[in-house]
Amino acid sequence: MPTEIRMPSLTDAMTEGTVVAWKKREGDSVRAGEVIAEIEADKTTVDLEAPADSVLTRIVVPAGAARVRVGEVLAVLHRPGEAADAVARGPAVEAPTPPCQSNDHLAKSADGATSPAESEFGPAASRPEPNAARAPDDVKASPLARSMASQAGLDLSSLRGSGPRGRVVKADVLKALGFGPGLEAPSQPPYPATGPAPAWAETPFDEIPHVRMRQVIARRLGESKRTIPHFYLAVNCQIDALLRLRSELQPHCAGGPKLSINDFALRATALALRKVPEVNASWTDGATRRFRRVDLAVAVATESGLITPIVRDADRKGLAELAAEVRDLAARAREGRLRPEEYQGGTFTISNLGMYGIDESYAIVNPPQAGILGLGAAEPRPVVRDGSIVVATMMTCSLSADHRVLDGATGARFLSAFKVLIERPVTMML
């Protein structure tokens, strides 16, 4: 019997995915375990493999189709000699719309003439207008007329349209507002006196559809800011000793990755979490979960957005091992090749924006974790030492924390432990 290939559920929270590409064409033979498609789910792209030796009889969902729900049939496989069933013969779903749209088509003529955009897509009333108030479905109106009526509080259904096929146009709204023939009409829609006209009414723009990763980021961080009471602490760390130790250790890392300030910060963060385990926790309605392992999430910027691959048992790994693992995870994150288990389940996050010259970074807590450490740039600054002003290499490190889990004193103890480790890096070797 035919085998249906369906959109898999790769994470607990996944409800839909995107078909990035098909590696096989209809009629191609495939072997068990052979990659037949690439699927984008949340923050990564995974390979979809054939379950058995068969023939790809029908591609139901074309490449590029987005918002495909989990469990939906993507393709049908048959063993040689079998006949296609109704699913295999059914129509494919529509391909996605082009990735960029422009608002240049919003311009309409004042006399109600149909614009080029309307000629291509049909009357404006047959498609939703994102920035205009909605009138009853049976009222035909230009986008400009809808906007003007909405701002003025007019009911479009009460107006008699003078445009093509009874379409309500700008002149009809102006007439209803008392601007008849011979009277000077306003050059712009009658916006409320309480504020200026919305920027979208005049400024051209391009719409860039959200990729799935950006949608996930927006949902999770929006939820974080709405539901988590954040508080912030910062400490300035002098890292001259760290830089000297790094220079001494580098010759012993031949063949391996070069040690960076970020690698030392990861090590210091992991050890500080071990010293102050209250920070290595998360909030639930019934209890605070204090994690027994230190699984560090490391923020990595990609073209599609931020992703946080996880370094498991980070407190049990040395500098060289941390450096190698982070570089491997970051490289595969930028390629979209992380497995779901490699970016889910961290207990604390570290985010470094120092390479961009940022002095201080106060990040949003990555739920369900209780804290995130932001690293700023390491730069020479004047400091007071023994009553004299000297120049030292300083780095500002900030903690964003969930006040439901942590109090200020607990966060301060964590930052103090981190500061001792980062300023006396030889203690990380113990």
Instruction: Name the fold adopted by 225-429.
Output: Chloramphenicol Acetyltransferase (3.30.559)
Percent of the chain with pLDDT over 90: 42
Give a three-class secondary structure readout of 237-266.
EECHHHHHHHHHHHHHHCCCCCCCHHHHHH
How sure is the predictor about 105, in pLDDT bands with cuts at 50, 70 and 90? very low
Instruction: Name the fold adopted by 105-207.
Output: Dihydrolipoamide Transferase (4.10.320)
DSSP type of residue 276: S
3-state secondary structure of 418: helix
- Residue 14 has a CB neighbour count (10 Å cut-off) of 17
The rounded distance, in Å, linking the Cα atoms of 89 and 414 is: 62
Assess contact for 373 and 247: CB atoms under 8 A.
no
Q: What is the pLDDT of residue 96?
A: 45
Give a three-class secondary structure readout of 124-141.
HHHCCCCCCCCCCCCCCE
The rounded distance, in Å, linking the Cα atoms of 375 and 1 is: 57
Span 306-319, average pLDDT: 95
CATH number of 3-89: 2.40.50.100
Provide the token pair at 85: 């069933």
- Higher per-residue pLDDT: 121 or 207: 207
Q: What is the pLDDT of residue 262?
A: 95
Query: What are the extents of the domains in the chain?
Result: 3-89, 105-207, 225-429
- Higher per-residue pLDDT: 93 or 241: 241
Closest CA to 46 of 392, 407, 340, 297: 340
Provide the token pair at 292: 């027994």
Q: What is the pLDDT of residue 152?
A: 67
Residue written as token pair 């959109």: 7
- Average pLDDT over the chain reads 81
Segment among 62-76, 110-124, 217-231 with least mean pLDDT: 110-124
Span 79-89, average pLDDT: 56
Residue 280 reports pLDDT greater than 80: yes
Closest CA to 271 of 152, 142, 421: 421
- Higher per-residue pLDDT: 166 or 292: 292
Helix, strand and coil in the chain, % to nearest 5: 30, 25, 45
The Cα angle at residue 290 between residues 289 and 293, in degrees rounded to 5: 125
Q: pLDDT, tens digit, for every residue of 172-216?
A: 877 776 665 544 444 444 444 455 555 555 788 888 888 778 888
Residue written as token pair 């490699």: 342
Strands 371-375 and 348-352: parallel
Q: What is the pLDDT of residue 196?
A: 56
Residue 109 reports pLDDT greater than 50: no
DSSP type of residue 374: E
Q: Do domains 105-207 and 225-429 have the same CATH topology?
A: no
DSSP type of residue 163: S
The rounded distance, in Å, linking the Cα atoms of 331 and 328 is: 5
Q: What is the pLDDT of residue 87?
A: 41
Span 74-85, average pLDDT: 73
Catalytic residues: 403
Assess contact for 88 and 57: CB atoms under 8 A.
yes
pTM, to two decimals: 0.62
Q: Where are the alpha helices (DSSP H) in 32-178?
A: 86-89, 116-121, 143-152, 170-176
Assess contact for 246 and 264: CB atoms under 8 A.
yes
3-state secondary structure of 171: helix
The rounded distance, in Å, linking the Cα atoms of 72 and 7 is: 5
Assess contact for 314 and 270: CB atoms under 8 A.
yes
Q: What is the pLDDT of residue 200?
A: 54
- Bridge partners of 155? none
Phi first, then psi: what are they for 285, rounded to 5°? -65, -30
Residue written as token pair 């987005």: 66
Angle, helix 240-249 to helix 408-423, in steps of 10 degrees: 50
Q: What is the pLDDT of residue 151?
A: 65
